[in-house]
Structure 1
Amino acid sequence: MILDNEKPDNYVKGRGAQLNPNNRFAKNDYAKEHSEGIDEWEEEDRKTTFIFGKSKSIVNKVDSPDVGMAYSLNPYQGCEHGCTYCYARNAHEYWGFSAGLDFERKIVVKTDAPALFKKFLERKGWDASVISLFGNTDCYQPAERKFMITRQLLEIALEYRQPIGMITKNALILRDIDLLAEMAKLNLCMVYVSINSLNEKLRQKMEPRTTTAKQRLKIIEQLSGAGIPMGVMVAPLVPGLSDHEIPVILKTIANCGAIAAGYTVVRLNGAIGGIFEDWLRKNYPDRFEKVWHAIQSCHGGSVNDSRFGDRMRGDGNIAKLIKDSFKLHCRLNHLNEIKPKLDSSLFKVPKVQLNLF
């Protein structure tokens, strides 16, 4: 039996997914059957590569009734954070890549996002509804340090007085505390930090290239101290791995300055089911059956449930225990008592300065 602190010989260090499943839209699938084959086989580059392309639009209307947003904006597709459970993995298949390792090492960079954002905001009749700077991948993932697209988007939002919601798990957001503080003064932004565990060993395995939990608490402290309303998404909770941490997480984030909290129960739709199952077997072989069956119990015997209203929180006994525990400890820690509403009334398209010379 492989213990928790051991890894199989073929384990891809520094990555969440441990395989690259076939793209469901691809007609052909290629695999290396025997290492001693006579044909030359090039091993895939395990380094992160960036793909640049032009987009037709950048802001998307969200029709799903249970995700808590009306519009989303994603400056990157794919995410080097490598979270094994990430629902956005499936979207990478639309770009012609795998939802597995490709999702973590082939990052689509939308360098035209700022221009497209301005174009969208200047549409006739735009009502300045809140735009969420998330929805698929983290806008502060490692690529942002180099390309700074998210910062440009915030500069535009501040200039136009466009309200913005954000979720991140990367401390790089602290770089933009100046912009966020100015927006907060005008009631134009709220930031959520994603924390699904305070266990660093679990974090390193499940979210290998993300900021530590300690750093995420620092984000809450510093941003809330700058007057920016802060919330936490305890997501996704994995029954049998992290759900028992609900009380300590909620108490800790409240002490750090968070005023709101939400949660989801892990669901493994599409290619994510196989990716997470492979990861779970390799990292927690002694707990695999318990965790896998607990996830299934939250989704009617499957590891995924696509029904609106149930898919994010699950149902059944374990899901109810999670719900009750979360509700209780939110109340004990005075979370969700204040519900900030961002201000859309200040929105204004800046006047164009004409050059007379």
Structure 2
Amino acid sequence: MPTPARLSHPRARLYEVVRTAHLERARELAPASIVYRRRRYDFDPSVAPGVELVQAEPMAAARLLVRSGVTALEVNEPLQLSSAIATLSTLLALDLRGRLHGTRPLVVTYAIENLDPMSARPARLRSRAKLRAQRWAAGRVWRRLDRIVYGTTGARDLHARVLPARRDLESTVIEALPAPMPERSHVVRNPVQIVFLGALVGRKGFPLLVEAWSTVLQREPRACLVILGSGELEPAATALSDRHPSVTFRRDPARSVIFDTLAASRTLVLPSQPRPGWREQVGLPIVEGLAAGCLVVTTTETGIADWLDKHGHRVVEPGGDAVALAEALLATLASTRTPEDVLADLPARDGRLAADTWLFRDAGGDR
């Protein structure tokens, strides 16, 4: 689709990547345009109608936001280095327009990064030069922010450690926890069903789950596993489901199927593993599993690991063996905690939505 001449709203969100969850949240927030560069693998176009969604390369995005006279803009967090240069270019263009017209747009961000990208040491000279430019741009974006919400205390601590202190920056921590999702009364919960939701790749710990499944069945023969997702390890998911009647694999199901499966499950498993340049920030499957009342089995990589550990979920060390993961899964199946107990620990309002309200307070409404 061609880029429009102007956006419909004075408030906009500038994202490097857009996914279905962004669109679902957009329906619950004050109207805002979403300008993005690319789509994630889990983007569902059926959710897009009703949301002003514009795909544009960085320079085109900057021109569009300037022409539209945007007064409030959410940008990717500065420590997302892949977007820092493009973000900075847009902010410089907006500020130039602001000086000419006597207005300065509000710039805000939501931060959940918990891995220091500033300490990377690429081997190639060209990569090192690119990283230096990204770090410089990230620092400039950081200095331009007006407000920031940290979705985890780990993200707050990381920013304090690697970026200059700013007394003038408005900031707060709002834990990245969901509100309970609406009851799906047509779904019956299976007390021994475990669900893996997400990308079928090594960093999400899927190979470890495959290895652990035989141990789970030895101890609890009634256990069943539902795998929802796609990725390079789809053959392993197919092989596991062929080998064990207890395993069901569904490639990229509709969101309604995902929500029904979560509501029918006892446990959500996401054993994230560290990789060079990547660490699980929170994990959308974890958030959606909690909202459905699932117990969670994950690793200390997620930014809400401490909260999970304190609220009866199972958190294991990354890089552990399959037996430790199996033990954690079995512990949730045997737990006396009910889905109602899980839901009672959650906030009344989704943390990301609450963060958005805090970021854009007094920022003006729709045209």
Instruction: Please give the range of the TM-score, normalised by the shorter of the 2 chains.
Output: 0.3 to 0.5
Higher-RCO chain (CA-CA 8 Å, sequence separation at least 6): 1
- What is the TM-score when the length of structure 1 is the normalising length? 0.36
Greater strand fraction, Structure 1 or Structure 2 = 2
- What is the TM-score when the length of structure 2 is the normalising length? 0.35
Greater helix fraction, Structure 1 or Structure 2 = 2
